[in-house]
Structure 1
Amino acid sequence: MREVAFIRQNKEKWLQFERAISQKKIENPDQLADLYLQLINDLAYAQTYYKKSKLVVYLNNLAVHVYQKIYQTKREESNFLVYFFKVEVPMLLYQYRRYMLYAFSFFLVAVLIGVVSAANDDSFVRLILGNDYVNKTLQNIENGDPVAVYKSGSNWGSFIGITFNNLRVGLTAFAYGVTGGIGTGYVLLQNGIMLGSFQYFFEQQGVLWQSAKGIWIHGAMEIFGIVVEGAAGFILGASILFPKTFSRLVSFKRGMRDSIKIVISTFPFTIGAGFLEGYVTRFSDTMPNLVAVIIIFGTLALISYYYLIYPHQVHKNLTASRLEN
């Protein structure tokens, strides 16, 4: 069957799915579940005969949203937060996984730009970080404490101030998605270049490991969280630029809803990073290297697992569950 004829034959059924998704409450979830099985068959057919068509992407996204609607309606989960972090967010992360790839790739390129620029221009670090910060840090290095700047103030005050600042940066990266993702890209570019030049500056001074102990104890979750929030900004921007089969307004509402959920999921990690910076980082100079390595790679493994690996596991388990039913 030609693709045009296939679309014409099933268009009304798919529109029925879209209307069902837009409803706040499903009156007959069993009927929607029956239609969902038909959608899975349509998706399998399209993947077989129209592999490179946008129809496959459309049907796959539609299947994910319909299943989430059915699962949400039928679930007996008593704890909303458990369901939110355990199922809903991972499914969204899987659905939008390519935007995570875009955000991390863009950020890593920005970091590389910062490193290369700092290595080839002695004035670049001062341009990015400011003379006051560079001079103060050089003085701290001479005093044998490269990351003394992270030890000023009280534990509680540092924790609150740092957490709110990190939340502000992440929310800014997300909110700028309304510019079609351009503003989000700027925030990621700015922070990536700053990080790259910052780390090269410490390497140039011969204190890279001492600085890494003081920075990445909290930075693993902090930086990772900002990039995830940047991915949410790209999702929001894409919902405006590429509405697909939806009206631009409907697409924007869907993008806003999904991206906000992803941003909210980063809050526990951002708060955790603020806690580590306020209460643990200040002891980095006296901390055994092994303990520092465990904290750094432990926090990095935790957040990486949740955002990069766990979504695939959830998708695989739910797909197996669908096939069994």
Structure 2
Amino acid sequence: MREVSFIKQNKEKWLSFEKAVFNNDFKDPDELASQYIHLINDLAYAQTYYPKSKVIIYLNQLAAKAFQKIYKTKREDTNRIVGFWKTEVPLICYQYRKFIYIAFIIFFVFTSIGVISAANDGEFVRSILGNNYVNMSLENIEKGDPVAVYKSGSNWGSFIGITINNLRVGIIAFVLGVFLGIGTIYIMFKNCIMLGSFQYFFYEKGVFWESVRGIWIHGSMEIFAIVIEAAAGLILGASILFPATHSRYTSFKIGAKTGIKILISTFPFTLSAGFLEGFITRYSNIMPHWLSVGIILITLSIISYYYLIYPYKIQKEITQNPHLNLSNI
């Protein structure tokens, strides 16, 4: 069958199914599951005979959304919370993966601007970080402990204060996405410029490695989580700018709901980063190099796997096994 005929034959069925999924128009969960299986069969057919067709992208996204709907209509049990992080969020991350990639591109570009600016303007770091912070850091470097600032305060006090601040930054980055994503980009710009100039400052003073061993013990999860939260803000902004086949209000509701789920998924990582900063980072200068590097690599690997690799694994399982028992994924 030619691709045009395939699309023409199934177009009405897909559009009807899409409308029912997005508008919660299925009264019978079994009917939704049955239609989902038909959709997966169409997707498999398209992948076989039209591997370069854009219809595959459309059916893939529709299938992911339908799966989320089926999953939610199942009777809730004690595994519902686990299922949120194990299945629902990874599927959302796969569906909106382009926004995550864009958020990382923005992160690297803005951080590079901070580095370049600090390298070419001797006063730039002070204008960004403030004279008091720079002077304090210079004193700590002279004392042989560049990251001594992380040893101030009690363990629990640091943990609670830092975690609250990081949660606040993430929530603001998401919420400001309502301004067509511009607010989110501003938050990214502000924080990335600070990060880039901050790291260059330590490089310029010859203590870059010491700063990395200290800062990135907690920074791997902390910064990564902020990037994911920014992606959620971009999704919110895009839902207003590009409503596609939905009304702008409906698209906004979908974007807000999706973004909030991604935002919530970052909270355990933000809490973990706060714990590491409050209880572990303060000992970075006395712990073996292999231990500090190991913590950095392990934390970075965990959060990278969850948001960048695991979503592909879940999507592949669903695509290849449409009859899979959803509660056991």
TM-score for both structures, normalised by structure 2? 0.90
CA apart distance, 1:178: 0.4
- Matched with 1:18 is 19
Matches within 5 A, 1:103-122: 103-122=103-122
Matches within 5 A, 1:1-325: 6=7, 10-11=11-12, 13-23=14-24, 26-43=26-43, 51=52, 53=54, 56-74=56-74, 78-322=78-322
- Letter in structure 2 aligned against 1:18: K
CA apart distance, 1:148: 1.2
Q: Secondary structure at the match of 1:322?
A: coil
CA apart distance, 1:324: 7.0
Contact map agreement 1:77 1:83 (CA 8 A) in 2: no
Contact map agreement 2:99 2:235 (CA 8 A) in 1: yes
Q: Secondary structure at the match of 2:78?
A: coil
TM-aligned CA distance change 1:133 to 1:304, over 3 Å? same
TM-aligned CA distance change 1:190 to 1:312, over 3 Å? same
- Letter in structure 1 aligned against 2:15: W
| Residue-by-residue CA offset, 1:20-40 (whole Å, 9 max, x unaligned) | 44328x532222222223333
TM-aligned CA distance change 1:317 to 1:46, over 3 Å? closer
Contact map agreement 2:125 2:201 (CA 8 A) in 1: yes
CA apart distance, 1:150: 1.0
- Letter in structure 2 aligned against 1:116: I
- In structure 1, distance between residues paired with 2:22 and 2:179: 26
| Residue-by-residue CA offset, 1:220-239 (whole Å, 9 max, x unaligned) | 10000000000111111111
Q: Secondary structure at the match of 1:192?
A: helix
- In structure 2, distance between residues paired with 1:153 and 1:7: 67
| Residue-by-residue CA offset, 1:242-298 (whole Å, 9 max, x unaligned) | 111111111111111111011101000101110111111111111111110111111
Backbone CA RMSD of aligned residues: 2.3
Contact map agreement 2:36 2:67 (CA 8 A) in 1: yes
CA apart distance, 1:4: 10
- Letter in structure 2 aligned against 1:91: L
TM-score for both structures, normalised by structure 1? 0.91
CA apart distance, 1:61: 2.1
- In structure 2, distance between residues paired with 1:164 and 1:275: 11
Q: Which runs of 5+ in 2 are unaligned?
A: none
- In structure 1, distance between residues paired with 2:319 and 2:46: 18
- Letter in structure 1 aligned against 2:126: R
| Residue-by-residue CA offset, 1:106-151 (whole Å, 9 max, x unaligned) | 1011111111111111111111111111111111111111111111
- Letter in structure 1 aligned against 2:92: L
- Letter in structure 2 aligned against 1:218: H
Q: Which runs of 5+ in 1 are unaligned?
A: none
- Letter in structure 2 aligned against 1:211: S
Bigger mean CA offset, 62-71 vs 310-319: 62-71
- In structure 2, distance between residues paired with 1:321 and 1:84: 20
TM-aligned CA distance change 1:43 to 1:247, over 3 Å? farther
Contact map agreement 2:17 2:35 (CA 8 A) in 1: no
- In structure 2, distance between residues paired with 1:3 and 1:56: 13
